[in-house]
Amino acid sequence: MAPGQNAVEVPITGMDCPECTAHVQQAIAELPGVESVHVLLSSQKAIIRLDPGKVDLADIRRAVEAAGYAVGNPAAATSRLPPLAGSGRPILALFGVVFGAVLFIVVVGEWLGLLEALTERVPWPLGLAIVVVGGYPAFREVVRATWRRQVVSHTLMTVGALAALAVGQWATAAVVAFFMRVGDYAERFTAERARRAVQDLTRMAPQTARVERDGAEREVPVGQVQVGEVVVVRPGEKIPVDGEIVGGQATVDQAAITGESMPVEVGPGAQVFAATVARLGSLRVRTTHVGQDTTFGRVVKMVEEAEAHRANVQRIADRFSASYLPVVAGIAALTLVIRRDPLATAAVLVVACSCSFALATPIAMLASIGAGARRGLLIKGGKYLETLARADVLLVDKTGTLTLGRPEITDVIPLDGVSPDELLALAASAERYSEHPLAEAVRALARRHGLTAAEPEQFEAIPGRGIRARVSGSAVAVGNRRLIPAAASLAAADDLEGQGKTMLFVVRDGALVGVLAAADTLRPEVPAALARVRAQGVGHVELLTGDNELVASALAERLGVRHHANLLPEDKIAVVKGYQAVGHTVVMVGDGVNDAPALAQADVGIAMGVAGPDVAIEAAHVALLRDDWTLVPELFRIAHHTMGVVRLNIGFTAVYNLAGLSLAALGFLPPILAAAAQSLPDLGILANSSRLLRQSNVHGS
């Protein structure tokens, strides 16, 4: 939810896990006057839509504090962990070593009877003190949550520790407390790495700008720059605003926006974006967008708010976690009634105190969304990753999506002894002042051939036909069939028209002297990208276009896909609905403007090339920040990989907990080993989900 007229963003401190966000969200949502609230772990804030006449910031602050958290400033809303950038694998390996060492000590100590001897020799009050001190942060959280009538992940672990103390096993309770602390640290570390992509994005934004005011350059905070002002960017500096270049030349590194590592050459008239870097040159940029309204600002906000769109599998896991405690309590009660064994009952409570179901989905989703953002893939929420992973129909717009969106001259056919260069120069001279896209295609090809367009002596645009001009004393016409002499042969153009190309006939002094063929060029990476998409399980790919049947069929045949031609925007929606009505999961790829209705109707709408001032990000569920079709199969790959990790997390948790509960209830798993075993699924899920964090390193820019 983007903040609007009655929306506020409130920074929240103290949130370390997905469960924390649920507690804060519940506390704020219960306030009168709050219409909706989304609490975001990655950016440590709550986005609240409210009625200012019924609720204010003081009310929100009290509700957040009552939930055990605090309202602060964004700078304070960072993890309490030390900086660990770039050290993910060693730290996770360290967690594994610590866990393995303690597990080994516990197992060997239990087998040799050393732990029992230790328990007997240490006074029970001292053992109790060890447990309380070791688990104090978690126990304090449980007491606060219980006072608010809430159940948190540590509630069950605390119950397990109390059960161990009740049967005189303070060492078991100490192991539970120890693994609570290790698990907390590992979870915070993994969550911190997952949200670091968002923090890295935020830090990329420049804080100041050099503005031309009153004939001088003044350095001011970016927030004070006004639309229309000219900003000066020196070599090596970040561009602070979106705008149009009005002076200078530079090589610009746009990786922050598009994920593309190759810099681009820009000059007067070109558009540039905030957070990109001017290399090898200086620029004067007239501001069009500032702050959150820039392309970069929209990128950051989309990534931040992606958490609000949670996957269905995550909601199922949340509901399961909420009902898990009474289920475990019931199993423990049955164990006590049937077996009359307090130790087995305590072991059931101890082994079941994992919070792995609550962790199975959110960390994985957050990691993939952050990794995707660094590749130029803006995914608006985990539910769209889940949907992409099961999609079976891909509908694709043509112009600007499969093609470059601009015509290019593909064939030059001279007649009556005219050379190709002479024909091209003649057409370019006649089209010199035309604004039609086909005229620009003619001029562009002439420039590539090193030809100079002469100054026309006269020029006239004829709507629906072409242009007339006088070039070097000759009457020249360039346009469609309506301009050519009736008796002229058209055989040379028939085959090209059959391929869906547009014909430009060149007439000089009443005689046809040649034909130029133009076509909207297919992006070169499209065929291979579509093959990769099909290989990932999307069995049906279909082209949707407003072009005529000849053009559509030629391109569809080349790509080996079905097609619909002569479509209006409402017709594209009908095609999407038709597939959805028979149970298909539909992904639509379009340019984000003319295709906005169909993008919104699709199960997942993907907007191509939205890095610019005139974009329709809101219509799509995923935005690609550069016009690169290799990102489409990469998006499907990330979705499949993410859901594979989530399914493995959930399946491992279910099997592990079932086995642990069964062994404990039957007396095969003593409380001390149950205490050691209960943290295995938590650490396993964190380690498994952390694999997704490496997507940005392996495939990133």
- Domain of 26, CATH number, reads 3.30.70.100
262 and 396 inside one domain: no
Q: How confident is the model at residue 395 (pLDDT cuts 50, 70, 90)?
A: very high
594 and 622 inside one domain: yes
Strand order in the sheet with 70-71: 34-40, 45-50, 7-13, 70-71
Going by the DSSP 8-state scheme, the letter that residue 168 receives in this structure is T
Cβ(591)–Cβ(399) below 8 Å? yes
Res. 5: pLDDT tops 50:
no
- What is the average pLDDT score of the chain? 78
Res. 122: pLDDT tops 90:
no
Going by the DSSP 8-state scheme, the letter that residue 75 receives in this structure is G
Q: Which amino acid is at 70?
A: A
Torsions phi, psi for 119 (to 5 deg): -60, -40
Q: How many other CB atoms sit within 10 Å of the CB of residue 87?
A: 14
pLDDT digits (tens, 9 = 90+) for 32-87: 888 888 787 666 788 888 888 888 888 888 888 887 788 875 443 333 333 333 44
Last-in-domain residue among 585, 610, 633? 633
pLDDT at residue number 111: 58
Res. 1: pLDDT tops 70:
no
Mean per-residue pLDDT, 565-573: 81
Q: Which residues pair with 48 in a beta bridge?
A: 8, 37
Q: Look at residue 201 and tell me if it is in a domain.
A: no
479 and 575 inside one domain: no
Res. 275: pLDDT tops 80:
yes
pLDDT digits (tens, 9 = 90+) for 501-530: 888 999 999 888 989 998 888 888 999 999
Q: What is the distance between the alpha carbons of residues 81 and 186, in angstroms, rounded to a whole number?
A: 10
480 and 552 inside one domain: no
pLDDT at residue number 603: 92
Look at 580 and 260; give whichever has higher pLDDT: 580
Q: How many other CB atoms sit within 10 Å of the CB of residue 329?
A: 15
Q: How confident is the model at residue 612 (pLDDT cuts 50, 70, 90)?
A: very low
Q: Look at residue 594 and tell me if it is in a domain.
A: yes
391 and 539 inside one domain: yes
pLDDT at residue number 356: 66
394 and 485 inside one domain: no
Catalytic residue among 184, 253, 397, 520: 397
Res. 113: pLDDT tops 70:
no
Residue 160: strand, helix, or coil: helix
Mean per-residue pLDDT, 655-659: 86
Q: Which residue has the tokens 């693994």?
A: 179
Res. 406: pLDDT tops 90:
no
Mean per-residue pLDDT, 402-428: 89
pLDDT at residue number 635: 93
Last-in-domain residue among 574, 599, 633? 633
Share of the chain above pLDDT 90, in %: 20
pLDDT at residue number 404: 81
Q: Look at residue 697 and tell me if it is in a domain.
A: no
Last-in-domain residue among 522, 557, 573? 522
What is 497-555 written as a DSSP string? Answer: HHTTPEEEEEEETTEEEEEEEEEEEEPTTHHHHHHHHHHTT--EEEEE-SS-HHHHHHH
568 and 486 inside one domain: no
Using CA atoms, how far residue 209 sits from 224, 257, 319, 582, in Å, is 9, 19, 49, 54
Q: What's the pTM?
A: 0.67
Q: Look at residue 670 and tell me if it is in a domain.
A: no
603 and 507 inside one domain: no
573 and 620 inside one domain: yes
Minimum mean pLDDT range among 169-183, 338-352, 683-697: 683-697
Q: Look at residue 374 and tell me if it is in a domain.
A: no
Q: What is the distance between the alpha carbons of residues 256 and 273, in angstroms, rounded to a whole number?
A: 9
Question: Best-predicted range by mean pLDDT among 59-68, 306-315, 436-445?
Answer: 436-445
Q: How many domains does the chain have?
A: 4
413 and 512 inside one domain: yes
pLDDT at residue number 701: 37
430 and 388 inside one domain: no
494 counts as catalytic = no
527 and 626 inside one domain: yes
Structural domain span for residue 64: 7-76
pLDDT at residue number 309: 56
Q: Look at residue 533 and tell me if it is in a domain.
A: yes
Q: How many other CB atoms sit within 10 Å of the CB of residue 27?
A: 23
What is 553-580 written as a DSSP string? Answer: HHHHHHHT-EEE-S--HHHHHHHHHHHH
> Which residues touch 150 (CB under 8 Å, ≥6 apart)?
23, 26
> Which residues touch 187 (CB under 8 Å, ≥6 apart)?
16, 17, 359, 363, 682, 686
